[in-house]
A and B are shown apart, each in its own frame.
Chain A
Amino acid sequence: MSTRAQQKPLVVVENLVKHFPVKIGAFGGKSAVVHAIDGVSFEIYQGETLGLVGESGCGKSTTGFALLQLHKATSGSVKFDGVDLAQLPTKQLRAMRKRVQIVFQDPYSTLNPRMTIGEALAEPMRVHKICEEKEIQHRVAQLIRDVGLNPNVANRYPHEFSGGQRQRICIARALASNPEFIVCDEPISALDVSIQAQIINLLMDIQEKYNLTYLFIAHDLAVVRHISDRVAVMYLGKIMEIASKDDLFGHPMHPYTQALLSAVPEADPDLERSRQRIILQGDVSNAIDPPAGCRFHPRCAYATEICSQSIPELSDQGGGHRVACLRLAEIEKETA
């Protein structure tokens, strides 16, 4: 674990559930429920980056949104600095919002095309009364410099910028209210390959400068490994494994994590030739009708009858390495 992370949880998520009611059938006549997140618990320590990975539809973005109360959770609690955000009245919640911010995936659709960059950055300062009116211009220039752009861009509009530059502006906007915690929801997925490294470096630089805590949501495991202190792996609305980065990537324990890591291609022909890949059969099950027992059992090579009957809980395997698998001990014996 990095020295950055002190052992004080800033965010504590307990048993978070988010179900979306939907209409299905040809004419929308039937009601159903999408089990987007089904009892997720974790904590994020002050100053650390928690990576949240999983495939599309596993509920990782919903978790980030529910954490910030952008989705109202069906049940469960989200404590930020000891205060349960889910129970907070609107007015107090708004006051909390300046402390928790978000950077979205798509920098093209999340900047108002009719607002100059300066206006976009000044707005959160005015809403949250971060500083005196006369200081705003100075702070805007400072933020723009922090994200590696020239302060004279403040009078320009979003369409004048490339994707990478827009994402820099979105990061500056998230910083405008002096937050302590930022949810980064796939912040580099929409960017060109040669630009991604620039944004990863920027996020790490400003984390150090402003002592920020991140929840970093992504599907790219190599990027998550690079930026995170601890990593949680989600599958179909549940956390399957959570551990420090070194434990998770060095000794993945859950069969799903193992398969996920094994599917990541590496830019090394020799390694690829010698590699034994675990190829998962089938597709991710439907979140409207998730499988009984362990959510992963229909695709798991080690699954037995018990896996379709009882739901595994996260259990600590030592050093905060928690795994949700009923057959963990037997699998370890089998593969040893």
Chain B
Amino acid sequence: MAKLLEVNNLHTRFKVRNGYLHAVNGVSFSLDKGEMLGVVGESGCGKSVSMMSLIRLLPPAAQITEGEVLLDGEDITHASVSRVNAIRGSKVGMIFQDPMTSLNPFMKIGDQLIEGIVYHKKITKADALQQAAKYLKMVGISNAEHRLNEYPHQLSGGMRQRVMIAMALLNEPSLVIADEPTTALDVTIQAQIVELVKSLREKLNMSIIWITHDLSLLAGMVDRIMVMYGGYVVEEAVLDDIYKSPLHPYTIGLLKSIPSLKTEAGSRLPSIPGAPPNLFSQPTGCPFAPRCTYRVDRCQSEVPALTAVPGETGERPHRVACWVDMRGKGVKQ
């Protein structure tokens, strides 16, 4: 399949009072047209910052120090501000976590929805509103024409997130970055949104990057998963390889520590000792080494590179950054 996005060795850091906070430390990955990639990790692992770095949607203190971003063959790493503005919202759509704070409370739903399309395309307001109503219907909002004249507080959380999704799709982007779009929602509403995104993806044939901290959520929706820890990509593979033969001790630990509706209840959960890393100092070795039970001497002195090994299912290689050969050790019981 044709590549839509290619990212090489991306580094992003934040200037803070006493130096730098290293949020993203050399992230490389690619995304095919029509593919859905899940990016998973804990808070502060760099999952949001790395994806927002792609379209430079970062606070002023952030600096992208290294790396290359190719979108549809175009190098946008050093693109001008006006070029990036033309890409944001048209070629790349965004859905954010909190639909309450991402919508302007003083603007009617309709006016917010068409802001992007009017900016990017030569279109009259009436035509744009018609287009907006069509997309509101597509995301399952009934009485769409009427909703265009309402304000965000008149909608429930699930409906607001549907509005955010409609807004992201209105310019028919080839890539949608969804940053924890269901984290603020209840589980039954989350199920509605997940089904909606799955059906829209088939209908519109777009690529999606879905950022989340919830590994279970991804199992039913994405093609491939990238696991991040301490600003590094530690593992990346197709869906089944991640769940059935994980190769990084962090992924293995996470999968084992999630209670599920199927595991034996009441027993002790296998937990990962320690706490997530401090990003102010860059580790000399593997970022996960202090918490890793498989640690060897080399882990503390050298950062392991993301290396491809043959995958268990399909053609795609399984990439993992670990000095220890974990094959066969993480298989699910």
- Residues 240-277 of A at the B interface (beta carbon under 8 Å): 245, 249, 259-273, 275, 277
Closest to B194 in A: A265
- Alpha-carbon gap, A259 to B262, bound state (A): 17
Contact (Cβ within 8 A) B257 A196: yes
Closest to B155 in A: A283
- Residues 306-333 of B at the A interface (beta carbon under 8 Å): none
CB distance from A183 to the nearest CB of B (A): 20
Choice from A164, A197, A262, A270 contacting B269 with Cβ under 8 Å: A197
Contact residues in A for B257 (Cβ distance below 8 Å): 193-194, 196-197
Contact (Cβ within 8 A) A2 B216: no
Chain B window 236-270, contacts with chain A (Cβ cutoff 8 Å), 1 for yes, 0 for no: 00011001100000100111011111110110111
- Alpha-carbon gap, A198 to B259, bound state (A): 12
Closest to B273 in A: A198
Contact (Cβ within 8 A) A221 B269: no
A279 interface hit (Cβ, 8 Å)? yes
Contact (Cβ within 8 A) B220 A284: no
CB distance from A188 to the nearest CB of B (A): 10
Contact (Cβ within 8 A) B188 A260: yes
A195 interface hit (Cβ, 8 Å)? yes
Contact residues in B for A265 (Cβ distance below 8 Å): 194, 214, 216-217, 219-220
A79 interface hit (Cβ, 8 Å)? no
Choice from B43, B258, B268, B273 contacting A204 with Cβ under 8 Å: B268
Choice from A55, A225, A272 contacting B261 with Cβ under 8 Å: A225
Contact residues in A for B259 (Cβ distance below 8 Å): 197, 200, 222-223, 225-226
B118 interface hit (Cβ, 8 Å)? no
A303 interface hit (Cβ, 8 Å)? no
B52 interface hit (Cβ, 8 Å)? no
Closest to B264 in A: A226
A280 interface hit (Cβ, 8 Å)? yes
- Alpha-carbon gap, A201 to B221, bound state (A): 30
A132 interface hit (Cβ, 8 Å)? no
CB distance from A4 to the nearest CB of B (A): 9
A162 interface hit (Cβ, 8 Å)? yes
- Alpha-carbon gap, A280 to B254, bound state (A): 30
Closest to B274 in A: A194
Chain B window 257-291, contacts with chain A (Cβ cutoff 8 Å), 1 for yes, 0 for no: 11111110110111111011000000000000000
Closest to B268 in A: A201
Contact residues in B for A198 (Cβ distance below 8 Å): 271-273
Contact residues in B for A272 (Cβ distance below 8 Å): 219-221
- Alpha-carbon gap, A164 to B257, bound state (A): 15
Choice from A162, A194, A273 contacting B272 with Cβ under 8 Å: A194
Residue of A259, A261, A280 with most partner-chain B CB within 10 A: A280
Contact (Cβ within 8 A) B189 A283: yes
CB distance from A163 to the nearest CB of B (A): 8
Contact (Cβ within 8 A) B263 A226: yes
Contact (Cβ within 8 A) B260 A222: yes
Contact (Cβ within 8 A) B255 A267: yes
Known contacts: A192-B42, A194-B272, A263-B188. The answer to whether A268 contacts B262 by CB under 8 A is yes
Contact residues in A for B262 (Cβ distance below 8 Å): 266, 268, 271
Chain B window 124-162, contacts with chain A (Cβ cutoff 8 Å), 1 for yes, 0 for no: 000000000000000000000000000000001111000
Sorted nearest first, the 6 A-B pairs with minimum C-beta distance are: A272-B220, A197-B271, A197-B257, A55-B186, A263-B191, A197-B269
Can you give 23 contacting A-B residue pairs, CB < 8 Å?
A164-B275, A192-B275, A194-B271, A195-B271, A197-B259, A197-B269, A200-B259, A222-B260, A226-B265, A249-B261, A260-B188, A263-B187, A263-B191, A264-B187, A265-B220, A268-B262, A271-B219, A272-B219, A279-B191, A279-B192, A280-B188, A283-B158, A283-B189
Please give 6 more A-B residue pairs, beta carbons under 8 A apart, in addition to A221-B187, A269-B243.
A193-B254, A194-B272, A196-B257, A260-B188, A266-B261, A269-B239
Which residues does A use to contact B, with CB under 8 Å? Answer: 2, 55-56, 162, 164-165, 192-198, 200-201, 204, 219, 221-223, 225-227, 245, 249, 259-273, 275, 277, 279-280, 283-284
